[in-house]
Structure 1
Amino acid sequence: MWDNRRKPGWYHRKMTSQHEQQTPQGPGPDTAHSAWAPFASHAFCWLWLANTVSALGTWIQNTASAWIMTDLTPSPMMVSLVQAAAQLPVFLLALPAGALADLMDRRRHLILTNLLMLVAATALAIVAALSRLDATILLALTALLAVGAGLNNPAWSASVPLTVPRQVLTQALVLNSVGFNIARAVGPAVGGLILTIAGSTVAFAANAASFAFVALVVGILLTFPRIQTSSDVPPEQFGSAMRVGLAYALAEPVVWNTLVRSAAFFGCASAIWALLPLYVRQVLGLSSASFGVMMGVIGAGAVLGGLIVPLLRKLISRNNLIALAGAACSVALIPLALIPSKMTAYPALLVFGLGWIIGASNLQATVQLAAAPWVRARVLALYQAMYNGAMGLGALLWGLLGEHAGLTGTILAAGLGGCLIALLTRAVELPAEIGDPSAPALAVPRTLSIAEEMLPLLYSARHRVVLAISYRIDPANATAFRAAMADVRLSRYRAGAVGWALSRDVSDSTHWVETFRVRDWHELRRGIEHHNLADSEVVVRARSYHLDEEPPRMTLLLQEPRA
């Protein structure tokens, strides 16, 4: 326990209160592994329905926007800019949006962001009704919708684990993807039909109605538990929350490797989303209705993939499954380029949709499982930044290449390149099993005395805090101790440290000192509050090499501010 006379027993209270509110009661053992188990939660049912309705409106909007742009301009670059405008704002806003989602009341945040998207979609419908829609206005309002989506998505994704227990979280994410892809299967076809019969105004109005529905569901039917924190520790500041979220992702190997794999997967797969409207119109010579049907075929493949994902996870490791999904998406592009016809396109797009959901759902599930509850929205925001950045920048790349190499040549390049990248990135391994980052920490003994006269300075938040921990290590165990401390280093950074070092005393070969800095005393306390079972286990492993019977000596230092 910290020897702090002003706050007796503080450390023990925080280690027990952090996890009291997080996990919903799960299904019984007979249903825990059912593909439909998440629907036992009423909150998840409403979340799933709202997600599906919102996705339906989004796909109607996307289909209408992409097709209208082909009417406004035949340039592959301009058509690709629709995709870029829908993705890049989400990429740029990801980390601020994740911090807001972790800091704000979740319900209020979701209502406000859906109202913002409702306003943007309504404005688009009004402009279309007035026949004032041009390429600039279409791109600008598409980007505004993407701003709302960028602010909404981290909070929405981070809400799923609050509605289901961990053992069915992967199934819940797959079902969410199935709902999204049911909307993808139906939405483009409905969007193409609406465009043909009623025009763009009705298509954009349908999207506005979907946001109104989501806002009502969240406002009336859903409540989310708040993460409990110490009442005497000030809440995180916005800038600090972004920094800590980024540090957590960089220091958590599972999250970092998943982000790398996501960039590779989505970057190559973005070609089909960016160029399919022009491919259907210029290469196949078909109408907007046919474009909607082909988008629906991708969605149907994704629904099929969602149904077989539980079986595939039992047969194939996570690492290989994501690599195979990337290869499937890429291989599906090759016949589109070499044998362009309607009969070739349908099975190829079905395979693409199958690979898409297998890869995307497993990548997102890996991030969800590896992120601690207190930082989950920020980590998911970084995943969504990687997704939208790869999709948006990929769309620009494929659009630029399409200007010079033609549509079929560009699609062929994306297919061949994607196969190669899927093979290469398999070396960035993802574990088969992921430990629960919300598991309570062990009660690691801590001794630290704080002089009464130093307490005002400690609580002033004007000084960075340096913690120095002294170890006595047998020189024969030096290599093993260094290896154990490498994991401790990652744990410190995940908890918010801004600098870490391991030093050795030149006058005493058994004396080692670990030092790390945090921004202030409150952030140090928040970091200890966030320690989980994995963090305490790596500390225990490192301390097992300590020679003395007494625990390592800890010294808390206040770094003097610069003059």
Structure 2
Amino acid sequence: MIQPQHGRKQGIFAPLGVPTFRNIWLASLISNTGALIQGVGSAWVMAEISTADKVAMVQTATFLPMALLAVPAGAIADMYDRRKSQIASLAIAVAGALALAIFSLIGWITPWVLLGLCFFIGCGMAVFGPSWQSSVGEQVPPPLLPQAVALNGISYNVARSFGPAVGGMIVAFAGAAAAFAVNFLCYFPMLLALLAWRRMPLPTRLPPERLGRAMMSGLRYIVHMQPVRTAIARSLVTGMLGSSLLSLMPLVARHMLGGTAQIFGILLGFFGLGAVAAIFILERVRRFGNEKVVKGCSIALAASVACLALSHSLILSSAVLLVAGAAWMIQVTTVNIAVQLFVPRWVTGRAIAALNATVAGGIALGSVIWGVVAEQHGTAAALMTAAALLLVSPVIGLFLPIADRESAARSLDEPLADPEVNMAITGRSGPIIIELGYRVPSAQARDFYDLMRRIQRIRARNGAYDWSLSRNINDPDRWVERYRCPTWHDYLRQRNRVTEEEMAVQQKARDFLTGGEDIRVERWLERPFGSVRWRAESPDRGGYDISAPGN
């Protein structure tokens, strides 16, 4: 159960005062450490048995599942119990980690076997991610959501500050099989924390959407929500260009610094340490606004990657990676917070999944590109090219700026009552056509029209199709808004998805009405087959209960 937080100022660590969040966060720290230990082992083994392009493909195999599965995983996170979906997906990752450890121990590891098992583990974590991230809102009070989101991102970077160094030591002294076995064991604290979480199921009056329709609902919301769409597009650029640093770091350690797996672990550790240090300035930096933060981080990353390309000193490279880690963490966390604040809870999992898919897809694609460039032109040339592109990437902000928002979107405290139904329909009946009639003085026609365009976007992202607005030629004060929903249940979901902010916009439409009038609402069943008796002897379905399970 979420415990209320008191006090006028809530710091970045305030969510750790909530027991459920604290337990899961600590468990995530351990599992992230194991994943990073495995990452060091996988990358180093590949550097020993294959070429530069295959080394970079370790990142591709790890992140490609997130790009491919994130959208259905996000739909699952919104449709079903997020705790149970996390447990099931972790079981997949555990099976893959065990297989990787056993195959390594008995000498069955080849480049393609290694990539295949990394991909399999990545599949489990791709399904796990959206459920884990979107469940934060169920673990902490709404005022603590930004801090909790930041702490979840920091969890990975805290692990990265020491996990790779530990992984390098394990690989150097005990071999890759030991590193893979440690990763296998590190998943169990998270499983225990999730089993101990007594999640309170959110009440719902409707059955879950089908997977395909749930995926489309999430994509429709993102397409029609411009701030979220922009943030996700910018994340693609970040993933593609920033992947140069992550995917080529094994080659930096091995070829440019002449080091071992321990040196590789140290470099990753300094990158993570920089990300951890950024926690203490994150809240202050965010005051400058999301767009300025993202631009500044891109420039800092560009300078860091360029310095890394020119460095042959472990000390200098480590110092550069401190700055790079801080810039990467602040940029990714800023965009993640922005997305979670702009979307309501019903679509949070799908929005986070789309963000994760974009970042992961960018990393996966970028890793392949930078691996090929490094193979053909050298590691330093690949890093300098990425640095140049990172330096000019803030220009995108002139066309796609990332918007600011301070508070999370809130659903209505009391959901809208179900409309009265006097005809035999089921939850699957449809399409449903909705007509709303307005009487607005002609002098306010332009302002009313502009407001209705905002309402069009609200209807579209919440599930409405074929929206139109008509004006009566004979009586110009009369307007009719029309849209449709595929089924009766889809219409009820569309009503339940309205947020307080969206309801305020709809109230403004009422303010335009001529005094004493109200919006006239009519609902129609298109193609009403089954709602009438074709023969006198046919049974009357008028008493059919549309609220019955499965209808």
TM norm. shorter chain > 0.5 = yes
4+ residue runs over 6 A deviation: 441-444, 446-449
1:144-167 deviation digits (Å, cap 9, x = unpaired): 001101111000101112111122
| Residues 1:525 and 2:503 aligned together | no
Alignment of 1:113-152 (within 5 A): 113-152=89-128
Amino acid in the other structure paired with 2:14: A
Distance 1:307 1:261 in 2: 25
| CA shift for structure 1 position 93 | 0.5
Distance 1:180 1:343 in 2: 24
Q: Which moved more, 1:469-478 or 1:122-131?
A: 469-478
| Residues 1:108 and 2:84 aligned together | yes
1:469-526 deviation digits (Å, cap 9, x = unpaired): 1222333322212221122112112321133222233343333221111111111112
Q: Which moved more, 1:277-286 or 1:426-435?
A: 426-435
8 Å Cα contact 2:286/2:334 also seen in 1: no
Extract unaligned runs of 5+ from structure 2. 530-551
Distance 1:350 1:305 in 2: 10
| Residues 1:430 and 2:430 aligned together | no
8 Å Cα contact 1:189/1:292 also seen in 2: yes
8 Å Cα contact 1:441/1:536 also seen in 2: no
**Paired residue secondary structure (1:471):** strand
Q: Which moved more, 1:478-487 or 1:412-421?
A: 478-487
Residues 400 and 447 (structure 1 numbering): CA distance in 2 closer, same or farther, change over 3 Å?
closer
| Structure 2 equivalent of residue 383 of structure 1 | 355
| Structure 2 equivalent of residue 557 of structure 1 | 524
| Residues 1:28 and 2:6 aligned together | yes
Residues 126 and 278 (structure 1 numbering): CA distance in 2 closer, same or farther, change over 3 Å?
same
Residues 97 and 476 (structure 1 numbering): CA distance in 2 closer, same or farther, change over 3 Å?
same
8 Å Cα contact 1:89/1:143 also seen in 2: yes
Distance 1:25 1:509 in 2: 54
Distance 1:174 1:434 in 2: 14
Residues 319 and 25 (structure 1 numbering): CA distance in 2 closer, same or farther, change over 3 Å?
farther
Distance 1:106 1:442 in 2: 23
| Structure 1 equivalent of residue 463 of structure 2 | 496
Residues 425 and 401 (structure 1 numbering): CA distance in 2 closer, same or farther, change over 3 Å?
farther
| CA shift for structure 1 position 341 | 3.2
Distance 1:498 1:385 in 2: 26
| CA shift for structure 1 position 45 | 0.7
Q: Which moved more, 1:194-203 or 1:176-185?
A: 176-185
Distance 1:78 1:384 in 2: 23
| Structure 1 equivalent of residue 203 of structure 2 | 228
| Residues 1:395 and 2:367 aligned together | yes
| CA shift for structure 1 position 225 | 2.4
Distance 2:479 2:371 in 1: 56
Amino acid in the other structure paired with 1:242: M
8 Å Cα contact 2:439/2:517 also seen in 1: no
Distance 1:63 1:283 in 2: 17
**Paired residue secondary structure (2:433):** strand
| Structure 1 equivalent of residue 325 of structure 2 | 353
**Paired residue secondary structure (2:432):** strand
Extract unaligned runs of 5+ from structure 1. 1-22
| Structure 1 equivalent of residue 140 of structure 2 | 164
| CA shift for structure 1 position 29 | 2.0
1:188-245 deviation digits (Å, cap 9, x = unpaired): 11111111100011100111111122112211x2122222212xx3332222211111
| Structure 2 equivalent of residue 471 of structure 1 | 438
8 Å Cα contact 2:341/2:405 also seen in 1: no
Q: 2:261 aligns with which of 275, 288, 299?
A: 288
Q: 1:245 aligns with which of 206, 215, 218?
A: 218
| Structure 1 equivalent of residue 345 of structure 2 | 373
Residues 441 and 545 (structure 1 numbering): CA distance in 2 closer, same or farther, change over 3 Å?
farther
8 Å Cα contact 2:418/2:492 also seen in 1: no
| CA shift for structure 1 position 78 | 1.1
Distance 2:347 2:66 in 1: 19
| Structure 2 equivalent of residue 260 of structure 1 | 233
Residues 297 and 411 (structure 1 numbering): CA distance in 2 closer, same or farther, change over 3 Å?
same
Residues 406 and 505 (structure 1 numbering): CA distance in 2 closer, same or farther, change over 3 Å?
farther
Percent of aligned positions with the same letter in both sequences?
A: 29
Amino acid in the other structure paired with 1:236: E
| CA shift for structure 1 position 448 | 6.8
Distance 2:250 2:493 in 1: 50
| Structure 2 equivalent of residue 269 of structure 1 | 242
8 Å Cα contact 1:441/1:535 also seen in 2: no
Q: Which moved more, 1:292-301 or 1:165-174?
A: 165-174
Residues 447 and 390 (structure 1 numbering): CA distance in 2 closer, same or farther, change over 3 Å?
closer
8 Å Cα contact 1:442/1:533 also seen in 2: no
Alignment of 1:56-71 (within 5 A): 56-71=33-48
Q: 2:26 aligns with which of 49, 56, 64?
A: 49
Amino acid in the other structure paired with 2:306: I
Q: Report the aligned-residue RMSD.
A: 2.1
Distance 1:540 1:442 in 2: 16
Distance 2:492 2:434 in 1: 12
| CA shift for structure 1 position 176 | 2.3
Distance 1:267 1:499 in 2: 36
| CA shift for structure 1 position 25 | 3.8
| Structure 1 equivalent of residue 452 of structure 2 | 485
| Structure 1 equivalent of residue 53 of structure 2 | 77
| CA shift for structure 1 position 103 | 1.8
1:104-154 deviation digits (Å, cap 9, x = unpaired): 222221111111111100000000000110001101000000110111100
Distance 1:350 1:151 in 2: 30
Distance 1:240 1:553 in 2: 30
Amino acid in the other structure paired with 1:254: P
Distance 2:34 2:399 in 1: 38
| CA shift for structure 1 position 543 | 2.6
8 Å Cα contact 2:305/2:383 also seen in 1: yes
| Structure 2 equivalent of residue 209 of structure 1 | 185
8 Å Cα contact 2:130/2:353 also seen in 1: yes
Distance 1:206 1:553 in 2: 65
8 Å Cα contact 1:264/1:422 also seen in 2: no
Q: Which moved more, 1:91-100 or 1:234-243?
A: 234-243
Amino acid in the other structure paired with 1:68: V
Distance 1:290 1:436 in 2: 42
Question: How many correspondences in the alignment?
Answer: 529
Distance 1:204 1:229 in 2: 42
| Structure 1 equivalent of residue 511 of structure 2 | 544
TM-score, normalised with respect to structure 1: 0.90
| CA shift for structure 1 position 41 | 0.3
Q: Which moved more, 1:553-562 or 1:519-528?
A: 553-562
| Residues 1:98 and 2:74 aligned together | yes
| Residues 1:178 and 2:154 aligned together | yes
**Paired residue secondary structure (1:459):** coil
Q: 1:307 aligns with which of 258, 267, 280?
A: 280
Distance 2:407 2:438 in 1: 28
